[in-house]
Structure 1
Amino acid sequence: MASAYYPPEPLAPGEEWRLLATDRFVGAFAPSTGMHTMATLWRIAAEPSLGLDALVGAIPTRGADAVESFAIAGIGRATVFVVRGEACSDVSVAGRMRRVDARGAQPWYVAELNEVDRFALGPLQRSPGDLRPTETDLPLDGGVVFGPWLGWARDIVASKPVPPARPVTAPSPLSELSPYDTNVLGDLGRRAASLTRHRTEPPATAPTPETAGAAAFRLGDRAPERVDAPVYVGRQPRSPRVTGPMLPRLVRVESPSREVSATHIELRPTPQGLVLTDLQSTNGTVVRQPGSGVRRLESGESLPVAPGTLIDIGDGNVIEILAYR
């Protein structure tokens, strides 16, 4: 079985992170996170009909209640990590260690990884270690507690009962709560549009006022194309999913040496701009952003991209992000 766990002693006085766990989500939130916010997040995380987009969208990122640092993992066939500020996720993927941090991305950074066997969520300052639970760690089968960081591992069995560690008030029924009701979650809920993974997402419709100013892209010498629906680019692209009448666009490129994967990247319009995702390509995706230099996306990573960004997917196929006029 898989289980979450945490060490009982804080790193230092006043540095107790807020740790949340359900069977689908685990998260670590900075010590300054208000308890009202944690109670709301626990209610959403405990509701089976709500997905990762609703959970992330309910986190305030502006104003007096802003949560400046957090790390969340959505557990499923793949593991989706959402990281902001001074938080990080130390992850063991098929036995290899890596760290997922925000890298300055706003409002957060997203990575989707397969074959995750262990990970730990918490502040950047912690040493990742080997991510294995120790005899002094306490199991967390569900709820919200306080601690220095939160771990998760497959194939471990909790050997101790969970202590009464200052839990947040149990959630109230959510039968009337909708993740798309902005009176409940606020406009922040729309920021998580690119994270939708659950089956209860609303059907796609015509472009909204927020997406009416979507970006465009140009592939090599081809004419510019507007990104008003998800775009999948590759050697023989296929859409991972189709929801509603707004069909995605498939863009085929030539790749004589097969550097480009069959479905290499996704470009998805969101109310906050265009999001690029490497769809677990074989040879990776190289991105040059204005003022940020060159970086290579890890397999499954997502990144907001602005006009002026160049995306190299291999075999001379370079995509330029343009402002739509």
Structure 2
Amino acid sequence: MAGAYYSADVLEPGADWRLLVTERFLAAFGPATTVSTMSTLWRIAADETLGLDALIAAIPVRGVAAVDSYAIAALGRTMTFVVRGGGCADVSVAGRVRRVDARGSEPWYVAEITGVERFAVGPLQRSPGDLVQQPQDLPIDGGVVFGPWLGWSAESAVVPPPRSAPAPVQAPHQPALHTLDPNDTNVLGDLGRRAASLRRHRGEPPATAPTPETQSATAFRLGERAPERVDAPVYVGRQPRSPRVTGGVLPRLVRVESPSREVSATHIELRPTREGLLLTDLESTNGTVVRQPGTGVRRLESGECLPVVPGTLIDIGDGNVIEILAYR
């Protein structure tokens, strides 16, 4: 596909990442990724009947072939970036560069970003300045190559539209790139009152990460209400409604009180997946604050997704705190 390019710089032996390009996906996988794994991932990424979920599900997470670091970009009007371990994506929107990285999130970290002009995927050690394509960088239409990182620019790319759309997206105007803005990354800061409310709610989450036997999150509790199992998409807000096609599964709508209207009408989604429970901020006005076991407090960005495990606390505003549970 036009718009993709990679660096041909020679790294030390064994340090090159595996770079994958198709019409719908650009991805970088860590140096330990096997040829057999890359062959499987290439076939899935090139199959138009399969989506991002199928690609992620095919990445080995255990055994000798486990892939502990990667960064995947799913192209579209709104682009989805999935990162794990030592992988990251540097994304330019309106000339400002944001770094998307996992920061200890398990099993991976997801961000959905609109208006992407350029991006690069690869290891955390790379410089965000590499977003500017250099004359020595090599274009790639599709395939798998070795290299230190993989880039994409909308200047010459055709972004695949949603399947229902008749025409591709037009490339946006490219403003000048600036340096990395530390205030525009997913770096945790002091979240004040809402962080304090999470610490007061049922005490501190466990300091250690969950074990494989306890990490499956399939229920939640809102404040003092009785626990509820998550066996279908759950939408929480002041006046929630289902904003997505649910494939015939009837979603659950959970209404909360919000006297100061801190909570949006449909604030968050909790969606069960094969890998666990996925939390999504549905472009809420005042954001979603999360505290997971063994990590600090973080604020989800608008539209951001995050896998959650038992013990996670979610503050959506006005004192409404959701606790993620393992179903018994």
Cα 1:281–1:56 shift into 2, 3 Å: same
Distance 2:101 2:322 in 1: 26
Residue type matched to 1:134 in 2? Answer: Q
Q: Which residue of 1 aligns with 2:271?
A: 268
Distance 1:115 1:261 in 2: 23
Q: Which residue of 2 aligns with 1:87?
A: 87
Question: How far does the alpha carbon of each residue in 1:129-161 deviate from its partner, in whole angstroms, 9 at most, with x for none?
Answer: 161212111111111111110001111379xxx
In 2, are the aligned partners of 1:3 and 1:157 still within 8 Å (CA)?
Answer: yes
Residue type matched to 1:261 in 2? Answer: S
Distance 2:157 2:323 in 1: 49
Q: Secondary structure at the match of 1:48?
A: coil
Higher mean alpha-carbon deviation, 315-324 vs 21-30, is at 315-324
Residue type matched to 2:267 in 1? Answer: H
In 2, are the aligned partners of 1:214 and 1:228 still within 8 Å (CA)?
Answer: no
Q: Which residue of 2 aligns with 1:234?
A: 237
Higher mean alpha-carbon deviation, 235-244 vs 90-99, is at 235-244
Distance 2:54 2:280 in 1: 20
Measured on the aligned residues, the alpha-carbon RMSD in Å equals 2.3
Cα 1:261–1:34 shift into 2, 3 Å: same
Unaligned runs of 5+ in 2: 159-215
| Match runs of 1:1-325 below 5 Å | 3-129=3-129, 131-156=131-156, 215-325=218-328
Distance 1:95 1:236 in 2: 36
In 1, are the aligned partners of 2:217 and 2:324 still within 8 Å (CA)?
Answer: no
TM-score normalised to structure 2 length: 0.77
Question: How far does the alpha carbon of each residue in 1:190-227 deviate from its partner, in whole angstroms, 9 at most, with x for none?
Answer: xxxxxxxxxxxxxxxxxxxxxxx863222223333221
In 2, are the aligned partners of 1:266 and 1:276 still within 8 Å (CA)?
Answer: yes
Cα 1:32–1:130 shift into 2, 3 Å: closer
In 2, are the aligned partners of 1:261 and 1:281 still within 8 Å (CA)?
Answer: yes
Cα 1:227–1:92 shift into 2, 3 Å: same
Distance 1:20 1:324 in 2: 38
Query: How far is the alpha carbon of 1:2 from its aligned partner?
Result: 5.8
Distance 1:108 1:64 in 2: 19
Query: How far is the alpha carbon of 1:73 from its aligned partner?
Result: 0.6
In 1, are the aligned partners of 2:108 and 2:307 still within 8 Å (CA)?
Answer: no
Unaligned runs of 5+ in 1: 159-212
Distance 2:220 2:34 in 1: 41
In 1, are the aligned partners of 2:258 and 2:318 still within 8 Å (CA)?
Answer: yes
Q: Secondary structure at the match of 2:38?
A: helix
TM-score normalised to structure 1 length: 0.77
Residue type matched to 1:70 in 2? Answer: Y
In 1, are the aligned partners of 2:119 and 2:152 still within 8 Å (CA)?
Answer: yes
Q: Secondary structure at the match of 1:129?
A: helix
